[in-house]
Amino acid sequence: MSKQNSEKLSHLFNKYSKKEVSLEDAIKNFISPGERVFIGSGCAEPIDLTRKLAELGQELPDVQMIHFLNLSDLDYYKTIGTVKDLFRHNVFFIGENLREAVARGQADYTPMLLSEIPRLFKSGKIHIDTALIQVSPPDKYGFCSYGVNVDIVKPIAEVAEYVVAEINPNMPRTLGDSFIHMDDIDAFITVDHDPIKFSYEPPGKVAEKVGKYVASLIEDESTIQMGIGQIPNAVTSELKDKKDLGIHTEVFSDGIVDLVNKGVVTCKKKTLHKDKIICSFVMGSQKLYDFVDDNPMVEFHPVDYVNDVTIICQNQKQVAINAALSIDITGQVNSDSIGLRFYSGIGGQVDFVRGAGRAEEGKPIMVLPSTVKLEDGKVVSRIVPTLQQGSGVVITRGDVHYVVTEWGIADLHGKSIRERVLQLINIAHPDFREELLEKAKEWNYVYKDQELPKSVEGRISIYPDKYETKLELDNGETVLIRPVKPTDERMLQELHYSLDEEDIYYRFFQQMSDFRHKKIQPMVTIDYTTSMILVAVHSEQSSEEIIAQGGFFKTHQPSVAEIAFLVHKDWRGLGLTTFLLNYLVQIGRELGYKEFGGSILLDNKAMLYIIDKAPYPMTLKNVEQGVMEFKMDITQKTEKAK
């Protein structure tokens, strides 16, 4: 033990020396056969105590070990040789080193919302005989910190018959509701090892793209929760341009430290626990542990507070980012199992999805890659017609809001089954979209003639998100300009139904009384490689409205496309059509077009003015019966561009 650590512990021996025991006595004197033992969680697992408990397993038959999240590499079952039923684990979240034991039936899994676990023990429904924990050395008042894991450890230690602690000077002294007094510790050993370190694999291209989509949903001054997983962790690297973010989360890792150091996370705009990062445990590197050590910016609390829905929802703009294993086309989210095989657990997902869903301007977000490669090398879709037999519905259809893959964002909240199906197919991997659509048709979830955007070769036409941009209008409002999607059908119908008789005549050269599915579907299922329809989307709080559309469409001449525009009457005269025209010219050039053509009624003075002022050489093809036909050369600009 280092000199520095010896000094930290010197007063401990003086005042509480009678409670110090040997490692073997810490187990034998406080645990008997048939008892139930809780083992401290995550990166604060008391490694020495746990290892000794496993080694003495032959002398302690039928001991039940309770875990929340086990991250150590200790092989419990190897230590007891061939006696496979000598003791059992009961886990609330399945860590990697107990996953096989659960699959073999040697360990139990108890599915529970994380926020509700402490009540099981406080109520006496589950009695704990001994709690094995790891804490920091006591301060001058006798208080030890639970360090990097408070979660369910503190509530359980408070009701256990006996508390046996590893006192470790390397354990960070974390602040908040995170202390236990030496008077409440029945026995201790002193150790000098580092807390368990934890790291995620570097994010790949898929995780990076998902992270970018998630970041686009997060506004400045939002409060963030991130669950366990590579993709939620990868989101942090995409938040570097945000301002005054806050943190209220059960767990965080090194990425948050970087955001604090860059001034992105300040917590200054939080509506609850202003200026404070609120968490229950952390998992990461020594950099993270040094950051939380005695840091008044970070408060640790038990999960029955941190994950309480009524607490979470008090954070305005609370964002919850959690990983899923699979999701069906109606929006049921599976996060804890792969078919009949239990893989992880419920954890705090439900708590934060519901808390963020109730928060003012809150956003629950589920993230997942669109595909997964199986052990046999086969690639399958994670967005599926129905969940695999045995898969657990962790987030219900009614709770899910946003789902994000590397192909985009699906907003399911308040949407019908038909709308959900189209949203989710739109973010599924293109190789599986046809199959998903056929199942949806078979079950009457969508129109029997529902189509997807396809190229002339019959392949799925991929949504070109590179053309998404924002435009500030002359009235100060900002709108999103993007390519049309199949999921826009209803909003386009609403735009068309907002037109008066004159508008309809100007656009279609005839009167039309309805804009049913058969008429609108061709406008939203285009081949993006040959045609383009851009829509202008105005968002107000959680509602969206298409206020304009402009597009070009292929003709029988390979280098010529026909253009058309439509703007809601309340949004005219603000520069929308001019912007759409110029943007369509840019896109048209990229797709190989040289000319745009079209027809305009001579009575349509507003459109004639825009075409006349367009900075491209114009040729009048024909003027007769009140209609002007024109062509514009989009390969060059005229002096009007100035």
Of 5-9, 149-153, 455-459, give the range with the top mean pLDDT. Answer: 149-153
* Residue 456 placed within a domain: no
pLDDT score for 640: 58
* Residue 449 placed within a domain: no
Given 124, 156, 190, which residue is the final one in a domain?
A: 190
pLDDT score for 271: 97
User: What are 636's strand-pairing partners?
Assistant: none
* Residue 200 placed within a domain: no
* Residue 450 placed within a domain: no
CATH number for the domain including 632?
Answer: 3.40.630.30
Report the number of distinct structural domains present in the chain. 3
* Segment 281-312, tens digit of pLDDT: 999 999 999 999 999 999 999 999 999 999 99
pLDDT score for 78: 64
pLDDT score for 639: 66
Instruction: Report which of 600, 598, 596 is spatially closest to residue 625, judged by C-alpha positions.
Output: 600
* Residue 10 placed within a domain: yes
Residue 211's domain spans which residues?
Answer: 205-442
> Which one of the listed residues 45, 250, 406, 489 is annotated catalytic?
250
pLDDT score for 6: 64
**CA–CA separation, 440 vs 433, rounded Å?**
11
Q: Following DSSP, what letter does each residue of 339-392 receive, concatenated?
A: TTEE-S--TTHHHHHHHHHHSTT-EEEEE--SEEE-TTS-EEESEESSPPTT--
Could you tell me what percent of the chain has a pLDDT over 70?
95
* Segment 409-438, tens digit of pLDDT: 999 999 999 999 999 999 999 999 999 999
Q: Do 436 and 329 form a contact (C-beta atoms < 8 A)?
A: yes
* Residue 258 placed within a domain: yes
* Segment 584-623, tens digit of pLDDT: 999 999 999 999 988 888 888 888 888 888 899 988 776 7
CATH number for the domain including 310?
Answer: 3.40.1080.20
User: In terms of DSSP bridges, do strands 337-338 and 333-334 run parallel, antiparallel, or are they unpaired?
Assistant: unpaired
pLDDT at 641 over 50: no
Q: Do 95 and 67 form a contact (C-beta atoms < 8 A)?
A: yes
* Residue 351 placed within a domain: yes
**CA–CA separation, 519 vs 295, rounded Å?**
61
* 341 shares a domain with 250: yes
* 523 shares a domain with 486: yes
96: amino acid identity, one letter: E
* Segment 46-93, tens digit of pLDDT: 999 999 998 888 888 889 999 898 888 887 766 554 455 677 889 999
pLDDT score for 14: 73
Q: Residues 8-28, buried b or exposed e (16+ Cβ, 10 A)? A: bbeebeeebeebbbeeeebbb
* 552 shares a domain with 415: no
Q: Active-site residue 457, yes or no? A: no
pTM over 0.95: no
Average pLDDT over residues 383-399: 96
Residue carrying structure tokens 């005839």:
510
